[in-house]
Chain A
Amino acid sequence: MHIFQIRYRNTQGTLMRILNAVARRGIELPFVQAEPSENAHRVTLLMDINAKQLGQLCRDWRAIVDVVEVRPGAPIKELWEHAHLGIPHPPESVVAAASVQPATA
């Protein structure tokens, strides 16, 4: 698991652009926390990625207009706990295995 802390100006859509960079690669985000930080905002992200994805993500984040800083964060016990809570929001998506089961008459 990797943790990133990204500081950004909280303008319209900037947080979504940060998250989109993750989502478009099909990477799961078990923990996200956004909060005010000094004179900007900070989002903390926890995810499981490989070295190639890490490079791509950091470059994509830094290219976003209102991103101020991207840096890796240290693992925090609280984040790990959150990562495994797994509380779904309705409507819950169907897991892949269930969706490909043959229909029964």
Chain B
Amino acid sequence: MRKGAQIVLDCLRAEGVDLAFGYPGGAIMPLYDALEGSGIRHVLTRHEQGAVFAAEGFARATGKVGVAIATSGPGATNLVTGIADAKMDSVPLVCITGQVRSPLIGSDAFQETDVFGMTLSLTKWNRMIRSIDELPAAIAEGFHWARSGRPGPVVIDIPLDILKASMEFGGPVKFTPPRLANHVGPESTFAATLIALLQQAKKPVALIGAGVKLSDAVEDLQQLLDLLNIPSFATVHGLGALKQKSPYYLGMVGMHGTKAANLALDETDLLLVFGARLDDRVTGEPTRFAPHAKIAHFEIDPSQLDRVRPCDAPVIGNLAETIPAFYQEAKHAHLPDFAGWRAVACGPERAERTHSPEPGETRKQGLAHPTKAFLQELFARMPKDDSGFILADVGQHQMWSAQCFRGNGPRGFITSGGLGAMGFALPAAIGVQLAKPNATVLCVSGDGGFQMNIQELATVHRLGLPIKMVIIDNKFLGMVRQWQELFFSCNYAETDLSDNPDFVEIAKAYKIAASMIKEEEFLDPGQSENVARRLTRFFRSTRPELLVFECHPEANVYPMVPAGSSLSEMVFEKE
């Protein structure tokens, strides 16, 4: 006989889980009671949102399913932001929530919430367990949906009495999905269709999204684009998928993308989309998106096709299968060279304005440059292989980081892109560092976002994780302030954070080493050696460290495509 809680842990182990993040409470206590000896390491965060973001960080760094555990009621509701984040960014995640005893369900019992109903629209799949014998099949099915197709979050809600109940347990089970009529693959002639489109095209481009990484199709895509040799660019989640030095690579596209990428996307007559859902931060005004282009879309999730406008050539399926299949056909086809188009799209005239500062370049060219130069100095110290991870929180520093990112491997840039959840980076960095103990993990936050999950400094300290934490402190909710400046007549309503706490002292209270570099210090040529030495020491440290960079409060992120504008209508920083 095994108890429900033991069965849950046995089934998690059978799915390959050896690490889970969570926070205990009344309705989930039997699961915690059974943890010891289960083979699963549990990491106690200081808030359930920290647990779910940490599980996301683990999943994003490894491609494996992240697991978060919480109790009923407030424990479960605190998971919700992370669940929504995982849905938007296609992160494989399984959340186990305790629930009040079965007889009390629906009675508004203490710490009861309708977790099942609440997470219906945020999950790929969810289940409330009604009897102990449902547990093995439900957990197997939950993990299947979390990691299959387009990955996503799953919630399994387990009443307390089921965790405590016992039954004869024959062992974990396997889930075999039913064959459904709506699961379709690519047309057999898709490669010929795409080749014909390429032969007719004058200005083809490639847009790379997260799906390339999720499908482990990075090398396949590089091979294909080396063959096609067409201007290519990435969404924020596609960053790192292509080698930075690829001569046809134009960087990030979208609201804060490069001039070259945005203009190429605006002018193209054939857009090849690889695993991207074309959200509004990428397209600009949807009715004016790639106005001259036919669209060919490689995508595993049919529901992502035709979102902006009808797709001319859908290629439905796993990109790790469809991209190599297309490559095999394309390499034998007579394709145009596109040299003239490449010279325009990738030429120096377009690249010049989007130049990011090189390491060591600290000349003040607008308010944002010192911060970008600082980030470049940091990023230059990251490992050049896939043993480095940069986590960016949400806001201006996120976009500056994305603009400065030069690649540490396909999964090397991790951020909350779709939901844009402030407070993501610090707990997610915990998950990354635990998943990759030998990796260099750099966590970049703003002063607003850092305070949203600042309590996770306690988790970092307890585990002794050598995360390099950086706060870009402009004493504002910077991105909102930027929009207030540009679109709300400089009415800085409730974005002033000038009474921020002393982050260095707070970190020290958590027993974490901390220091500050001010922008003036960074820009002072007389201090450059000292700053360089401090940054090097910061990166060499084997313990947790926090570095606060105090930057100009009114630095803005440019280029910028204002909401409602087309990608060609970028606004640049006045110099």
Whether chain B is bound by chain A comes out as yes
Q: Is A20 an interface residue (CB 8 A)?
A: yes
Interface residues on A, range: 10 to 19
Closest Cβ–Cβ distance, residue B99 to chain A (whole Å) = 14
What residues make up the interface of B, taking CB atoms closer than 8 Å to A?
116-117, 120-121, 124-128, 145, 178, 180-182, 301-307
Chain A neighbourhood of B145, CB < 8 A: 65
Closest Cβ–Cβ distance, residue A14 to chain B (whole Å) = 10
A20–B126 CA distance with the chains assembled, in angstroms: 14
Closest Cβ–Cβ distance, residue B112 to chain A (whole Å) = 18
Contact B303–A59 (Cβ < 8 Å): yes
Chain B neighbourhood of A9, CB < 8 A: 178
Contact B126–A62 (Cβ < 8 Å): no
A12–B141 CA distance with the chains assembled, in angstroms: 13
What per-residue 1/0 map shows which CB atoms of A54-85 lie under 8 Å from chain B?
01100110110111111000000000000000
Contact A59–B302 (Cβ < 8 Å): yes
A5–B126 CA distance with the chains assembled, in angstroms: 23
Q: Is A24 an interface residue (CB 8 A)?
A: yes
With A20-B120, A68-B182 as contacts: A13 and B303 at CB distance below 8 Å: no
Closest Cβ–Cβ distance, residue A57 to chain B (whole Å) = 10
Closest Cβ–Cβ distance, residue B341 to chain A (whole Å) = 31
Closest Cβ–Cβ distance, residue B214 to chain A (whole Å) = 16
With A20-B120, A20-B121, A69-B182 as contacts: A59 and B305 at CB distance below 8 Å: yes
A12–B117 CA distance with the chains assembled, in angstroms: 10
A69–B183 CA distance with the chains assembled, in angstroms: 10
Q: Is A41 an interface residue (CB 8 A)?
A: no
Contact A17–B301 (Cβ < 8 Å): no
Contact A69–B116 (Cβ < 8 Å): no
Q: Is A16 an interface residue (CB 8 A)?
A: yes
Closest Cβ–Cβ distance, residue B321 to chain A (whole Å) = 20
A25–B522 CA distance with the chains assembled, in angstroms: 49
Known: A59-B302, A59-B306, A60-B303. 15 other contacts (CB 8 A): A9-B178, A12-B126, A12-B128, A13-B120, A13-B126, A17-B121, A20-B120, A55-B306, A59-B305, A62-B182, A63-B303, A65-B145, A66-B180, A68-B181, A68-B182
Contact B306–A16 (Cβ < 8 Å): no
Closest Cβ–Cβ distance, residue B453 to chain A (whole Å) = 27
Of A12, A20, A62, which contacts B303 at CB under 8 A? Answer: A62
What are 28 contact pairs spanning A and B, CB under 8 A?
A: A12-B126, A12-B127, A12-B128, A13-B116, A13-B126, A16-B117, A16-B120, A17-B120, A17-B121, A20-B121, A24-B121, A55-B306, A56-B307, A59-B302, A59-B304, A59-B306, A60-B303, A62-B302, A63-B302, A63-B303, A65-B124, A67-B180, A67-B182, A68-B180, A68-B181, A68-B182, A69-B181, A70-B182
